[in-house]
Structures are given as structure tokens and as C-alpha cells.
Amino acid sequence: MIIVIQCKDQVGLVASISVILAKNQLNIISMREHVDKTENLFFMRLNIDDSKDEILLESYIREVLPAGAIISINPKPSKKIIVMVSKEYHCLADILIRNYFGTFGATVQCVIGNHAILQEICQRFDMPFYHVSHEGISKAGFEDRFAAITDQYDTDYIVLAKFMRILSPCVVAKFPMRIINIHHSFLPAFIGANPYRQAFERGVKLIGATAHFVSNELDEGPIIAQQIIPVNHSFTAADMVQAGKEIETSVLAKALKLVFEDRVFVYNNKTVVFE
């Protein structure tokens, strides 16, 4: 059983929570906690023995927490997600394979693409694919068609697996901190389009990728995971793109695993991540 807690910090929280678990004969298998002293915020993730009465246990724990505490006991073990794509296949292919073999920690409900090019790979995995073209239609019209599809599903997260369109604030507001994007740059460097070209022209010696939650500010949402690799003068822009695809796939997979296992806490456009 997993317990996640986010609240104002105060002396004795760990002790108080531990006493409650002990009184209920619940063994702590693992525990991670962090305090942001600047914001006076407390974060905790516990893995404990299964409880016979989760509702009663939550009430006991809530009694010792400050007002306004956020607590979740035994969140859904398998999340439900919708994947959005454009033309690039590498991140989607990795997700579909993990989903097929049941190692993903989530269930992919469908894939939505603003191009039809990735429909064939989805068909190979018997994955529903919806082609919602952005051409010849307004952004609002495109997003209305997108919403008509997502409304058919009870979805926990939207994953932008190289979806190369900017979502409007109304879409972001509908899924607050539930849209996860993979950006082909080590943010905050090279925000926006063509980051590898920007990196090549700048002559950088490192390139990377960043998985983050989507906010209304382009590529500036809370960061979940990042990774870098070295490059040198011999790399062309095309070489950087090819190398970057490997990092993007790895970083997105890592970020999704962390989120699906309820290891990520979001606050003030930052994250606490218990790896």
C-alpha cells in the first residue's frame, strides 16, 4: 500500500505518522520524506503493509496533519493514459512495447495524432488511433475534436510523445499537472522549436532532453526528469538529432515511471521526486 502526503511542515510529523501505523500493526516497508524549509512544506511517500480499512487509516493520519494537508492512500496502481503524437515514432514505439508487455505501470487507452503517419504502428499493437488533423481548421476547432475523443475516456494523464503542437490554456486547465511532455533539450536551454539546430549553432558540448508537466508557459512547466550526453565538434545537427532521440525515449520512460508510481510531488512550478 502506498501513502503520499503533502502539507505544511511541523515538528514531529514523521514520529506521529509512524506511531499511528504502529498502533494499527502496519509495518513500514519503505519511507521517503523531504522538507522544503523555504516554503515550510513537508513531503512523504510511504510503502506499508496493506490495511483492512483505508478510510479509517486516512482519518487517523489526517488528525495529526496540519490543516489543508493533501493525502492519498493506495492511489490507483495502474494509471490510464492517452498518448498524443505527430510524426516521430521513437517515443511512441517505446510506450507501445512497454504497454504490450505489461511493464508500463499504466494502460494506454488510445493514441491521437495530428498526422496519420503513426497509425500503422498503432494498428500492429491493436491500439485505437485517432487522426485529428490540424490542417484547414482553427486551433479551437482542432482542440474541440481532441476533447471529443478524450471525453470518451476516464484518463489520468495525457502524454505528449513528440506532439509538436502547442496546447491552449483551456486544454491545460482541463488536465492540470496531468499533461506530460518530452522536450528535446536540457531545459531551460533552447526553448521552443529546433533546439538541436540551436545547440549546433551555439557549439554546445552537451545535449539533453527534459520531461516536464505542461503549463501555460511554453516548455517551462515543472521538471520531472532530465538527462544529458556529451557531443563534440564532429557532430552535425543531424547527428545531434539522432543522438537526442535515444535520450528522449529514455527520459520520457523514466519520468512516466516516476509519475505512475506516485513518486512526484508538484508545487510552485517545481517538483520533489522520490526516485
**Residues carrying an active site annotation:** 219
> Residue 217 has which C-alpha cell?
508557459
The H-assigned helical ranges of the chain are: 13-23, 54-63, 90-100, 119-124, 139-150, 169-174, 195-202, 237-260
Nearest to 43 by CA among 15, 3, 83, 75: 3
**Spatial distance between the Cα atoms of 17 and 221, rounded to a whole number of angstroms:** 32
Whole-angstrom Cα distance, residue 29 to residue 157? 28
Rounded Cα gap, residues 12 and 201, in angstroms = 53
Run of H or E including 31:
strand 28-36
